[in-house]
Amino acid sequence: MPTRSGKADAPPRAERFRLHHLLAISDLKREDADHLLARAEPYVSFLEQKSKKLDALRGRTQINLFFESSTRTQASFELAGKRMGADVVNMSVRTSSVSKGETLIDTAATLNAMSPDLLVVRHPSSGAAALLARKVSCSVINAGDGQHEHPTQALLDAFTIRQRLGTLEGVEIAICGDVMHSRVARSNALLLTLLGASVRLVGPPTLMPADADRWGARVHHDMKSGIAGADVVMMLRLQTERMQGGYVPSAREFFWFYGLDEDKLKHAKPGALVMHPGPMNRGVEIDSAVADRVDVSLIERQVRMGVAIRMAVLEALAEHGANA
Ligand code: CP
């Protein structure tokens, strides 16, 4: 509810977060994941209020540094920071001196000299966020590094499923498509298993990473048997920008074997939920008739939950930094 000052009441605080950075789901213990999901909970209803302004991060500076294109992640980190009262600066590679040849390390040192509190970074190279974290004094949040990890996407996906089903314990989740090039798949497989779900990875052998068996998931190469009885079918984008050579014969053939349409979805549990991190390639990995089904598709809800999760992550790291 808005107060007399026009500001909304802050939702109740959870206990202190353990980590200074959020670089990878593989760094999280169960208690860390539970902490962030619990912290996001009150923000769901808060974000439905007319007044959406808190001052938990007033006086803090958040820099969003995106070396790769983004719609959802960048916009929701910006909104999340502003909702929390932070001063938010957006930088993209096209408008920064990176386009004049400045290195990632020099860019980090330059930004660090301006004393930000939070640095949100997306980069095409795996490990870029971890490298930055060693060079700056503020908290770094990985907003997607190459094929490695996209931790806030996994957190918002887990949060969305838990909100809908009430739990993740024992939930059967099939992550399908271009697993090999997907940081979303890796982060989700690690987080969902950490939270008690049972995860299957489904895709052609050419798009399955060699170490997939170490992700705590079962591997399937046939779509219909791979999603059989699943509670949730999470589709992945076919990431042609990360492919050098012919991983799939054609988009049309990929859709025939692995694209989610009504016919394949019938093999999952009746009423199975459908997810996609976006951006979607309609008619390549997912059919519009499935993506737009209001009864089972969580795709829009995933985007909404992204703001709540990112508010929680920014707040948790800023609080950690303040107490360090
Ligand atoms: N899901 C996701 O990371 O989308 P964007 O690339 O639009 O940020």
Nearest to 43 by CA among 316, 309, 300: 309
3-state secondary structure of 312: helix
3-state secondary structure of 169: coil
DSSP character for 214?
Answer: G
For ligand 1, atom 3, the nearest C-alpha belongs to 73
Q: Pairing relation of β-strands 118-123 and 139-145?
A: parallel
| Whole-number Cα distances in Å, 205 to 191, 258, 267 | 23, 12, 21
CB-ligand 1 contact for 151 (6 Å cutoff): no
Q: How far apart are CA 234 and CA 253, in angstroms?
A: 20
> Ligand 1: distance of its center to the CA of 72 in Å?
5
Q: Which two tokens stand for residue 147?
A: 């094929």
Q: Are 81 and 61 in contact (CB under 8 A)?
A: no
Tens of pLDDT along 287-311?
Answer: 999 999 999 999 999 999 999 999 9
Q: How confident is the model at residue 2 (pLDDT cuts 50, 70, 90)?
A: very low
Ligand 1 atom showing the smallest separation from residue 144 Cα: 3
What local confidence, expressed as pLDDT, does residue 102 receive?
87
3-state secondary structure of 121: strand
Ligand 1 atom showing the smallest separation from residue 75 Cα: 8
The DSSP line for 262-309 is HHHHTTS-TT-EEE--S---BTTTB-HHHHT-TTTB-HHHHHHHHHHH
> Ligand 1: distance of its center to the CA of 155 in Å?
14
Backbone angle region of 44, left / alpha / beta, with phi > 0 → left and psi within -120 to 50 → alpha: alpha
Tens of pLDDT along 86-134?
Answer: 999 998 777 777 778 888 889 888 999 999 999 999 999 999 999 999 9
